């Protein structure tokens, strides 16, 4: 076969492959998925940053948690707590303190504003639970009810520390619950330290140990490269995704071609040779 005929056959096969519906769909599905993800990402991030305002009722029989909790649920305290958590997480991975501080400064404040409402120690718990499910006519809506245990600050003799009970209405955002738990944890810990006349600031300073990067010792000492080890799983995940997409595209193309061939086979088997030849003749002689 001459090179010209080979080129014609190859060109015909190429055009048949690239104009196939399965090939076109498989070729466009990945860019469409990325475009949809890029378009929806700002909307999702904006929805997560919507400010949630509400009332938090507190029953504190100890009388020591409420003053501290009033400070730990302010927007400034929540922002500072999130930055500390981010810096601690980066420090645990060996990132320097300056980089951790810069990264922590980029964390947006949680979109929540809480108003603490103290209840008497002998308040009716059932009535307070009903308050949670009562729609607010005006002002902030009920967000949570916190009941501090009697032994949350000073433990009973021979027993451990108690904790608290958290009650929330239906459809409460998980991030609101997490912020309340963090604020309660910080307030209760501060109250426990104050009861023992221990400075919370001194404890925070003494319990922080900055992680230092390791040095690989060999013929030449060098800084251990941790970035490559972190990137390897992502690279293999990307290769797996692309492999699945390419395999799915090939499978889709072959499936569409098989279905098209099957349709032609059914049509040909349903038409007799005489009808086929008469149809072809009438087609040629039709003016």
Average pLDDT, the chain: 77
pLDDT tens sequence across 35-76? 887 787 666 655 555 678 889 999 999 999 999 999 999 888
pLDDT tens sequence across 105-123? 444 545 678 889 999 999 9
- Name the residue with higher pLDDT: 195 or 13: 195
Spans of all domains in the chain: 8-45+233-285, 51-209
Please indicate, yes or no, whether the overall pTM of this predicted structure exceeds 0.85: no
pLDDT band at 7; cut points 50, 70, 90: confident
What CATH topology corresponds to 51-209?
D-Maltodextrin-Binding Protein; domain 2 (3.40.190)
Cβ proximity of 144 and 57 under 8 Å = yes
Q: From residue 46, give the alpha-carbon distance in Å to each of 39, 49, 230, 239.
A: 12, 5, 29, 31
Of the chain, the percentage scoring pLDDT greater than 70 comes to 71
- Residue 185 reports pLDDT greater than 80: yes
Burial of 37 per CB tally in 10 Å (0-12, 13-18, 19+): exposed
């Amino acid at each position: 076969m001459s090179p010209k005929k080979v080129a014609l056959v190859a060109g015909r096969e190429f055009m048949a492959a690239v104009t196939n519906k399965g090939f076109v769909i498989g070729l466009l599905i990945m860019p469409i998925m990325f475009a949809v993800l890029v378009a929806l990402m700002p909307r999702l991030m904006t929805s997560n940053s919507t400010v949630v305002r509400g009332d938090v009722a507190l029953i504190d029989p100890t009388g020591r948690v409420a003053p501290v909790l009033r400070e730990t649920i302010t927007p400034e305290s929540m922002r500072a707590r999130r930055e500390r958590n981010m810096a601690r997480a980066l420090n645990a991975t060996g990132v320097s303190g300056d980089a951790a501080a810069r990264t922590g400064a980029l964390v947006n404040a949680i979109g929540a504003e809480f108003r603490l409402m103290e209840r008497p120690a002998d308040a009716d718990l059932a009535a307070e639970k009903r308050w949670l499910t009562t729609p607010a006519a005006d002002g902030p809506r009920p967000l949570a009810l916190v009941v501090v245990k009697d032994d949350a600050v000073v433990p009973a003799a021979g027993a451990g520390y108690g904790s608290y009970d958290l009650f929330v209405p239906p459809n409460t955002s998980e991030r609101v619950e997490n912020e309340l738990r963090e604020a309660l944890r910080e307030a209760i810990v501060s109250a426990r330290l104050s009861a023992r006349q221990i400075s919370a600031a001194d404890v925070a300073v003494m319990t922080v140990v900055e992680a230092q990067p390791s040095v690989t010792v060999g013929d030449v000492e060098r800084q251990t490269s941790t970035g490559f080890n972190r990137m390897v799983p992502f690279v293999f995940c990307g290769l797996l995704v692309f492999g699945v997409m390419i395999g799915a595209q090939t499978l889709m193309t072959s499936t569409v071609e098989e279905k098209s061939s099957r349709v032609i086979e059914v049509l040909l088997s349903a038409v007799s040779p005489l009808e086929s030849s008469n149809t072809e003749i009438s087609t040629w002689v039709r003016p």
